[in-house]
Chains A and B, each alone.
Chain A
């Protein structure tokens, strides 16, 4: 067996936890019943790897079969590494009618035109997501299957989710994507996170948004901290109001799990107690990063508990509203796409 195949098997086995191995191998369906049973009985990771190597030899499995196994595992466990969102803009007239077969063919041929040594695998998941695995090579080397790029796209939507893409590979992916989806541009959506589902739900608006409609859905706060009945009565109304505004800004129910949001502030320092700084021409440069295990949930609780004033500032509500978690804030004028004007009040 050649070295690269062996390394791929070892790497795969290192990545897939033992308890998930069984189902993943079953879905793969390349093992005979007997082989599968043999794998199930082995405990140590090392022995499992050795056994799988032997099976690959026996069943004459090639690298493409192994990448299939990797994809199966990846699709089921996408929340690893950083995912970056990209947005396709300026759709052509036929963008809405691109179908999977068309897309597959075109994507492969466009990318192969740009990079000769490239291995592409496309697989559609049950939730309509098109998963693309790209192993890149160059003029002098074969595709590197140990560092593949993963791309997730839902046809007819302008969003593309990518993990493990280098800046060198980006222009090529961009061009292949644009051509095969019939859009004009492929640009950074300024949204990233470890949880693919979260950034997808945020951009596809697949989370419960709360609107100030006539018949609001009943909002329930998970934890009741106030116990004194008098205090409770006194605070009930403003608290309910704060909760409503917090939900309107960040959403209701389970919120998409973002880990962080970054603001690059280049705004003037304004403080009536400090004339020296207020009169200064240059902006006050700083970077603010908010992080949490579930950022939107934390911010929502800040607003509902009163740590953050309500109505919530547009800077914070822009995270779900614009589906971004990287912002450059300046005082004046529109600039690059990620910029946002500072609202003064």
Chain B
């Protein structure tokens, strides 16, 4: 079977199915009439929900992960500055067919031409030299991998001249994006047929029009599919815990959560906890580390949940208002910010890898099998 034939249909299906294992609590709370649909789902959906098929159990979010460690990254500072301090819109991408890391120069030219052609379609008259208005450059981000199976991250930047710019004015970056895979599930990556490269996480920033042009060029060139990647409630809680865990090494300044409550008119609650106090609460819910000396410090989902529970309880004790009735929309610290709508920002490159591991996991959950 060719992935190209299957993906569009599969993807539509996956969209609704794969969200389930991410956050079963959230699903239960959602409307009841959704649950009957589960029984009609295909084998993958039902199986992964019950977690029966051994090969598919990996398709849930990990319940335990390594505590973030700093200075793991070996990327050049020049390239890092391209990735941090920008808010990225997240998408997932299905594996790329016949993508070659060695042909980035060709891809740069092809994508430039593609954009120029598409832009020209919109114009009534043929404008001389439109081909030169958008300059695309593909590049590799070396050193940003966690396991041997991870494909090398690819960075794309589009430069352009403003519409009424002078002749000699330099081009400015108008769009950037990157595709990455950090610590992707090895079982899944190895199960892919030859000729497929998996870079499931796509981050983009810039004009929406250009994002869709880049996406459609990838779709046409590598038989892949894109879809929006939301950051689930559970993932946001994971990020809160992972970031707070860094406080002992690097100040998170404060832990901020933004909740919305379903009342008319909508109520937004911004709950900001002092960094030191958040850290103390986090330490208090950490289980005794059973691992011996030198072993990797791991964080368990139960600890994440107790942390959240503690924060919610403190809030409830004061306001008698149940945050569980609402939804967590955004979390942020000095290390970064993440929004449910699928926006992420890395403010400190030191702890970027941990966040990207989580996001890669989320993106892989969207992959068709």
Contacts and interface: CB of A to CB of B under 8 A. Distances in A.
Interface in A291-345: 291-295, 297-299, 301-302, 305, 307-309, 312-313, 315-316, 329, 342
A301 B271 contact: no
Contacts of B315: 288
Contacts of B268: 290-292
A270 B281 CA distance: 11
Interface stretch (A99-107, A189-197, A211-219, A276-284): A276-284
Nearest to B283: A276
Contacts of B319: 288, 308, 313, 315-316
Nearest to B323: A307
B267 A302 contact: yes
Contacts of B302: none
A125 to B, nearest CB: 29
At the interface, is chain B mostly helix, strand, loop or mixed?
A: mixed
B254 to A, nearest CB: 9
A288 B270 contact: yes
A286 B265 contact: no
Contacts, number: 106
Interface residues of B, number: 31
A270 B271 CA distance: 17
B277 interface: yes
Contacts of A315: 318-319
Nearest to A302: B263
B298 interface: no
Contacts of B310: 269, 271, 274, 277
Contact of A292 (B265, B271, B272, B326): B265
Interface string B247-286: 0000000000000011111111111111001001100110
B269 A307 contact: no
- DSSP majority for the A interface? mixed
B30 interface: no
A305 B263 contact: yes
A109 B269 CA distance: 46
Contact of A307 (B261, B280, B284): B261
A168 interface: no
Nearest to A305: B263
Interface in B88-128: none
A299 B267 contact: yes
Contacts of A312: 320
A315 B262 CA distance: 21
B265 A308 contact: no
Interface centre among A282, A293, A302 (most CB of B within 10 A): A302
B266 A298 contact: yes
The 7 nearest A-B residue pairs measured at CB = A285-B274, A298-B267, A276-B284, A309-B320, A301-B263, A289-B270, A308-B321
Interface of A: 223, 263, 265, 267, 269-271, 274, 276-277, 280, 282, 284-295, 297-299, 301-302, 305, 307-309, 312-313, 315-316, 329, 342
27 contacts: A265-B318, A267-B318, A269-B277, A269-B281, A274-B310, A284-B273, A287-B270, A289-B270, A290-B269, A291-B270, A292-B266, A292-B267, A292-B268, A293-B265, A293-B266, A295-B267, A297-B264, A298-B265, A298-B267, A302-B267, A302-B321, A307-B261, A307-B322, A308-B322, A312-B320, A316-B320, A316-B321
Interface of B: 261-274, 277, 280-281, 284-285, 310, 313-315, 317-322, 325-326
Given A291-B270, A294-B265, A302-B261, 20 more contacts: A269-B310, A269-B314, A274-B285, A286-B272, A286-B274, A287-B271, A288-B318, A288-B319, A289-B269, A290-B268, A297-B264, A298-B261, A298-B267, A307-B262, A307-B263, A308-B320, A315-B319, A316-B319, A316-B321, A329-B318
